[in-house]
Structure 1
Amino acid sequence: MEHVEQLPTVETAKKLGILPEEFEQIKQILGRTPNFTELSIFSVMWSEHCSYKNSIVWLKTLPRDSDRMLAKAGEENAGLVDIGDGLACSFKIESHNHPSALEPYQGAATGVGGINRDIFTMGARPIAQLNSLRFGNPELAKTKWLVKGVVKGIGDYGNAFGIPTVGGEVFFDDCYNTNPLVNAFSAGIVKAGEVARAISYGVGNPVFIVGSATGKDGIGGASFASEDISEKSTEKLPAVQVGDPFMEKLLLEASLEIIRTGYVVGIQDMGAAGIICSTSEMSAKGEHGMIIDLDKVPTRQANMKGWEILLSESQERMLVVVEKGKEDVIKGIFDKWDLHCAQIGEVVEGGRLHFFQHGELIADVPAHDLVLGGGAPQNHREYREPAYFQEFKKFDINSVADVNSAAEIAAVTRHLLSHPNIASKKWVYEQYDSMVGTANRSTNRPSDSAVVRIRDVERPNYQKGIAMTVDCNARYVNADPFIGAQIAVSEAARNLVCTGAEPLAITNNLNFGNPYVPEVYWQFVHAVKGMGEACRKFSTPVTGGNVSFYNQSSDDGPVFPTPTIGMIGLMEKPESQMTLDFKNEGDLIFLVGQPKNDIASSEYLYSYRGVKASPAPAFDLDEEFELQQAVAQLISNQLVESVHDVSDGGLMVALAESALPRGFGFEVATQSPYRADAFLFGEAQSRVLVSVSPDKQAEFQKVLGADLKITHALLGKVTKEGFVVDKQTVISGAEAKDLYDNSLGKIMS
């Protein structure tokens, strides 16, 4: 008797993460009940991770255009902006949170691999990497295990792949105890005429899978990333991919070489959802279909089922569509690099994808209906203001005692300099190779953002550089998502401006809890609104990025809403670069920007005073914009010796970070009518610390005062040693350096 496959039911659909109403929608699209393979295809393609079904309606409100934008936001493998001289910068940030929570080493390593593939499938050669990492309480054994695994995974993969890790951020809070956040950023450079697209068209054009063989690792990874972490999550370890950086290096060179032939119609990284994602997204964009023979896919395990091959997220693989007749050229290049290059199908008329195995049609689905912007759901979720929001606003600074003595200022200073959120991340970055490629301009020149030289073989003396940063204070966003997200964009721009660069555009990684919880979705909606407003103010459009929902557990609840901002800027010439370190004894120290009696959401209030409920720090977007314009003018007029933004830890931490690199000290005075704790440790925004040579003081003050009308104040001067506040020595330089440099390493060991 012939075996007939039993068709899935609504219960099957639920187990695959498909809602009953979505199951009905799929049946309408197909005109029949899907088989298991087809339902599996819809389950991954309609997962949050691939379809953005609960976020796209709000993402569409973000500014996505500028004169420099060369690729439509979210429509290619990565963002692309014009940097002049026939060159473009491709950059993107993505999360690998859920895999890293279960298997931190491979979770983080494959996050690095995936983001770099997004860059080189654009035709761009990666030049630098950043990362933004969030972990739980650093005293917990589990947290230490996660930190060590993630950092080693990033270091081992990035170092072997040969791309420098040039900066990033690490933040600790109990809300991340179960759900760490691992956000990886990469940037690369491409000639304007060598950009590749993620598209498929041209009837009869061959479709190739290239790179590694396909295995069972990572199956269902996109669906796994679209659900809460729970005790049962460890059963989903196969959903964590395994990376091979040496294979990726070969794939990089082979991919760039085939793109240079001009014979590549389209190319896409096989990241989330593997073969089905690449075939459907490329086909939908090119308004064509494909016939794919899964028997021709090189596999690592025997007897893999069709749905396993389609959904596998094995790493270091690409889908490539090539001009018909050029197959041998492409195969020859991959043979040279000793990589798999198998023709698995061809482009056909119409918009349907036909997948065959063992001579049988196992799935017949319309590409358009699978993808973001096509038939995938676009949900308007319910949202409501969390009860805590108004409670946080009731915070009264007068309920907290001020610091009233040099001894107490010293105690707070020691606490902050040794706190893992503020202390040097040296223990982390010393595990990364920041100098491979010898293009890093900030290793020995500490700046508020990383700066990487652009290498151009045809122009050996080419001077331009790319500045880049990743920023987000999630505590601020939790306190007020609208203001907190504005601050995240503003601080990223401020870091670039303080380095002497012109901000160009952003990529974002939106990390939130479960979107079906109205209070979580409220955080998301207001963060997107705040981000959009700030991006419009700074003319830094959103080139794309990643949404990571379901960072939530039954034990800890949702993580702080964490919309990480990756921003790039253009550095026209090396001499434009400004550093944060004090240069000379006797230089004058100025605070540019308006101090405020504000300690809200500061590290001082949160961890030293133990007050968790307070609003976001004082912030005004117009004031921030004017400050950044002024700082850019001071740098271009060469009126400042050092520039450092005042952010986490407040003014005292900024002073320490400027003094320590060259072993200097400082003497400063607090100012009335401000409380000492607000002046020294408050995190009110739109303030920048600068040092000025005495012979430039008059011109400096004229530009800021008479010309720009920007508030500024002389705080004191750079000294040979020691941190002195109001004529009292707070801490010696040696003790400050030891606390700042070594505290995180001591916690981790």
Structure 2
Amino acid sequence: MTLIQIQKPSLTDEEIRYAVKKLGREPNEVEWAMLEAQWSEHCSYKSSRPLLKLLPHKGPRVLVGPGYDAGVIDLGDGWVVTLHIESHNHPSAIDPYGGAATGVGGVVRDILALGTRPIALLDPLRFGSLDGSHSRWLFDNVVRGIGAYGNCIGVPTVGGELEFDQSFERNCLVDVVCLGLGRKNKLVLAEARHPGDSVYVVGGSTGRDGIRGASFASRTLSEKSDTERSAVQVPDPFIKKLIIEAVLEAVDAGLVRGMKDLGGGGLTCGLSEIAAKGGTGMEIDLDYLRTREPGMRPSEMMISESQERMILIVRPADEEKLAKILDKWELGYSRIGHVTRDGILLIRHGQVVVAKAPARFVAEAPLAPRSSRKPAYLDGLARAPEPPVPEDLNETLLALLSSPNVCSREWIYRQYDFEVGIRTIIKPGQGDSAVLRLPNGKTLAITTDGNSKQAYLDPYWGTVGILSEAFSNLVASGAEPVAIVDHLQYGDPGNPEVYWTFKEAIRAMRDYLNAVRVPCIGGKVSFYNEDSENKTAIKPSPVISALGLRDARTPKIDSALQSEGDDLLIVGTVLPGLGGSEYCESVQGLVVEAAHDISKGGLAVSLAEMAIQGQKGFTVSLDDIPAKTNRIDQLLFSESKPRFILESRQKNTSRILRRLRTARIPAAKIGLVKGSRVEFAQKSDPMITTPLNVIADSWSRTLEKTTQVAP
């Protein structure tokens, strides 16, 4: 191995030749370090960029789409919301508390970089089986890390999603969604458009933590990964809170002309991308960078991923005003250079030029062509026989309700402050989506969804099902879907079978979003989620966060059964997206008392959840359910989408059914809210009859009991 290969272990031979050709010379140590970081899969999207362009990105409310730190949706009345999703998978597998906390910090900076205030967090999480002590340790510490960071910065965690599967034993997935709120005329973009403007680094000082973090996230985990803790960044939520307030004050004063967070790739990523977006260059002197460790080399300064740092671009005439605001908040800062018009990223260390390259060359890695092949396992799954009908349906329902993938999530969300900011209307556990109050009189619903098992069984239709589930959650809350962000998480893209499943997810998203006319305004791709020792990849894991808007007059709709004697209706549709607006109109017509989408565990589990939350029983007949099967287990437990359960007053039932049938949506009355038992019958024969308290006990205790034995 040559010295050059040692310096740039994550660059391919083709990338090395490309760099030498473009620069017309051999890059030096600092330049190789910069290229290794910025051209990593984590920063460059070199394997996914061409496919991501297939997704619909435009819409009447979209102000900013993919390519920036967050997407922006126009709410009207001068208000906007920003939305982004990030992950910290590899760091969380090594240091679950710190990795999860810095994952929150990173996505909060993305929202702040647009000049908007972070107002809500959601956390989709995936771990291995809770039977294993390692997975329990990861789970417990990830939840604590998310809760501690979010609580300290005063941003509520209002929702999330959780899945356990053996494929995540080594590679847990820790995603964080952040929602921001701001004024349209105060938006700031990650663009340095004006030569002569000053470049500031604001917030924490620069250390050796997080060095090569982007490269670490762009390769598979191995036994040696446990020794790479220097690649895990150190969180400081108290500084982050100061950054939020100081930056927003500077934005409100009109002092910030461009802004970008410093995350993966550190200064290399931040400086090259903000210059390339603006069509400019930069001259930077690392002598002025605030460091907290002696003897840091220029290459370390350029790729350090120390947390709680932002790049601000300001006019020279506004520097004194900016300094006053930062001093007021006792926040560290330094002017490290200025914007130039030549498009060159020039890095000095005192009088010595340590790196010089076109900003666009650094920012835009060459694409990595990938081959794809349908996985052989799918043919075997297609030949698998159907399982037999369970003998005891009561026990089947109780087993489903107590399974980690279905049971109550209260153990998680009670560790989070989900009411700080006093915007939360529907809280975790109360409904299918979180619902937040907006300053323009409207309300907003937001949800996250994923299902790796279905995406594994059928990468295309499994992804369609995830999108359908996310949209169903919004509709069940009375909201109209307006945008999504996605996080696509897979194994090694160099494996043709892995890459094929990724391409199928993109194809599914393109088809579904075009059909329902909802844009994808941003997202994230995370590859290399596999164990290099045994070549075991995670199951395909697309995660969707969907955003919807509600009229202020729409009543609060949660998923708890409300009143004895109310009718229970089932609503289903065959094709994704059809009838969503008609159902939404029914909800907004003040005729629905409760609503819940049918998802994991099917009809039986969804109705049981409504009963538990409302502390009321029900009786349901399976005879009138719109279905293409007579198998009792499929009627009870099928997860066919999209379908809903509605509770309505008896006087309103005929109106709802008439409206849905006019729209050619299958719908039927199937039962009543009644008594204190969960009862399903077919042709008057009882299939399931279980006391509500037994149902509730099975559903509510799993996570708490499991984590009590966590190491």
TM-score (norm 2): 0.96
SS in 1 for 2:207: coil
Opposite residue 644 of structure 1, the aligned amino acid is: H
2:417 to 433, 452, 459: 433
Could you tell me how far 1:25 is from its partner in structure 2? Answer: 0.4
Deviations 1:188-209 (A, max 9, x none): 1111100011011322211111
CA distance in 2, matches of 1:442, 1:264: 35
Picking from 126, 132, 135, the partner of 1:140 is 132
2: distance between equivalents of 1:43 and 1:196?
28
Pairing of 1:261-280 with structure 2 (within 5 A): 261-280=253-272
1:586 & 1:544 partners in 2: Cα distance?
Answer: 45
In structure 1, the partner of 2:196 is 204
Paired with 1:671 and 1:310, the residues of 2 have a C-alpha distance of 66
Instruction: Render the CA deviation track for 1:26-68: whole Å, top value 9, x for unaligned.
Output: 0011100011110010001100011000000100111111111
1:180 has 2:172 as partner: yes
Q: 2:366 aligns with which of 377, 400, 424?
A: 377
Q: Does structure 1 conserve the Cα–Cα contact (< 8 Å) formed by 2:657 and 2:668?
A: no
1:489 corresponding residue in structure 2:
467
Residue 677, structure 1, aligned to residue 629, structure 2: no
Secondary structure, counterpart of 1:228 in structure 2: coil
Matched, 1:101 2:93: yes
- Using the alignment, how far apart are the partners of 1:744 and 1:505 within structure 2? 32
Structure 2 counterparts to residues 329-408 of structure 1, below 5 A: 329-371=321-363, 374=364, 376-397=365-386, 400-404=387-391, 408=392
- Partner deviation per Cα, 1:51-89 (whole Å, 9 max, x = no partner): 000000100111111111101322x21100111111111
Instruction: Return 5+ residue gaps in structure 1 as ranges.
Output: 1-6, 457-461, 595-619
Task: Return the offset for 1:340.
Answer: 1.0
Q: What is the CA-CA distance between 1:218 and the residue it aligns to?
A: 0.4
Task: Determine the C-alpha separation between the residues in 2 that align with 1:510 and 1:694.
Answer: 44
1:568 aligned partner? 547
Q: Aligned partners of 1:505, 1:379: CA distance in 2, in Å?
A: 29
Corresponding position: 1:21 with 2:8: no
1:127 maps to what in 2? 119
Partner of 1:36: 29
Out of 144-153 and 444-453, give the one that drifted further.
444-453
Map 1:623-642 onto structure 2 (within 5 A).
623-642=575-594
Deviation at 1:345, TM superposition (A): 0.6
One-letter amino acid of the counterpart of residue 693, structure 1: R
Give the residue type in structure 2 aligned to 1:520.
Answer: V
Q: Which amino acid aligns with 2:395?
A: A
- What is the distance in 2 between the residues matched to 1:328 and 1:646? 57
Query: Whole-Å Cα distance in 2 between the matches of residues 137 and 698 of structure 1?
Result: 46
Deviation for aligned residue 1:669 = 1.8
Aligned partners of 1:317, 1:146: CA distance in 2, in Å?
27
Secondary structure in 2 aligned to 1:416?
Answer: helix
Residue type at the aligned position of 1:433: D
Amino acid at match of 2:447: T
Counterpart position of 1:236: 228
- SS state at 1:325 partner: helix
**C-alpha separation in 2, matches of 1:732 and 1:106:** 43
User: Structure 1 CA distance, aligned partners of 2:694 and 2:367?
Assistant: 55
1:168 aligned to 2:146? no
Q: Report what 1:447 is aligned to.
A: 431
Pick the aligned partner of 1:522 from 500, 504, 511.
Answer: 500
Out of 168-177 and 728-737, give the one that drifted further. Answer: 728-737
Question: What secondary structure, in the 3-state scheme, does the structure 2 residue paired with 1:626 have?
Answer: coil
Aligned mates of 1:188, 1:385 — CA distance in 2: 39
Cα distance in 1 between the residues matched to 2:369 and 2:51: 9
Q: Distance in 2 between matches of 1:348 and 1:115?
A: 29
Q: Which amino acid aligns with 1:390?
A: D
SS of the equivalent of 1:175 reads: helix
Aligned mate of 2:676, from 710, 721, 724:
721
Matched, 1:422 2:414: no
Distance 1:633 1:453 in 2: 20
Structure 2 distance, partners of 1:484, 1:106, is: 32
Of 413-422 and 668-677, the range deviating more from structure 2: 668-677
- Partner residue of 1:610? none
Identity of aligned residues (%): 38
Q: Secondary structure at the match of 1:690?
A: strand
Corresponding residue SS for 2:86: strand
Q: 1:710 aligns with which of 655, 665, 686?
A: 665
- Match of residue 560 from structure 2: 581
CA distance in structure 2 between the partners assigned to 1:313 and 1:359 by the alignment: 25
CA distance in 2: counterparts of 1:450 and 1:426, whole angstroms: 15
Once residues 581 and 605 of structure 2 are traced to their aligned partners in structure 1, the CA distance between those partners, rounded to angstroms, is 24
Aligned partner of residue 730 in structure 1, secondary structure? strand
**What CA distance in whole angstroms lies between the structure 2 residues aligned with 1:556 and 1:183?**
23
3-state SS in 2 of match to 1:199 = coil
1:701 shift after superposition:
2.3
Q: Which residue of 2 aligns with 1:506?
A: 484
- Cα distance, 1:172 vs structure 2: 0.1
For 1:384, give the aligned amino acid.
R
Q: Which amino acid in structure 2 is aligned with residue 741 of structure 1? A: S
In structure 2, which of residues 44, 50, 72 is the aligned counterpart of residue 51 of structure 1?
A: 44
| C-alpha contact 1:16 1:40 (8 A) present in aligned 2 | no
Distance 1:340 1:441 in 2: 37
What is the CA-CA distance between 1:175 and the residue it aligns to? 0.3
Deviations 1:414-469 (A, max 9, x none): 10110000001111111111111111101288211000112x4xxxxx42122101
Q: Provide structure 2 residue ranges, at least 5 long, that are not aligned to the other structure.
A: none
C-alpha separation in 1, matches of 2:476 and 2:220: 39
- Report the 3-state secondary structure (helix = DSSP H, G, I; strand = E; otherwise coil) of the residue aligned with 2:291: coil
CA distance in 1, matches of 2:561, 2:360: 57
Q: Measure the CA separation in 2 of the matches of 1:719 and 1:393.
A: 41
AA partner of residue 395 (structure 1): A
Partner SS for 2:546: strand
Alignment check: 8 A CA contact 1:492 1:567 kept: yes
How is 1:275-354 mapped onto 2 (pairs within 5 angstroms)? Answer: 275-354=267-346
The AA in structure 2 aligned to 1:502 is E
State the match for 1:613 in structure 2. Answer: none
Query: What is the match of residue 6 of structure 2?
Result: 12
SS at match of 1:710: coil
Which residue, out of 691, 694, 698, partners 1:732?
691
Q: Is the 8 A contact 1:296 1:343 kept in 2?
A: yes
Q: For the Cα contact (< 8 Å) 1:418–1:744, is it kept in 2? A: no
Amino acid at match of 1:386: P
Contact 1:132 1:169 in 2 (8 A): yes
State whether residues 175 and 556 of structure 1, in contact with CA within 8 Å, keep that contact through their aligned partners in structure 2.
Answer: no
1:556 CA displacement: 6.2
Query: Secondary structure of the residue that 2:208 maps to in structure 1?
Result: coil
Q: Give how far 1:177 is off.
A: 0.2
Whether contact under 8 Å (1:17, 1:47) holds in the other structure is yes
Partner AA of 1:452 in structure 2: L
- What corresponds to 1:226 in structure 2? 218
Work out the CA distance in 1 between the residues paired with 2:249 and 2:362.
Answer: 31
Q: Residue type matched to 2:87 in 1?
A: S
Aligned to 1:80: 72
RMSD between aligned residues: 1.5
Aligned to 1:658: 610
Give TM-score, length-normalised by structure 1: 0.91
Residue 326 of structure 1: SS of its match in structure 2? helix
Q: Secondary structure of the equivalent of 2:426?
A: coil
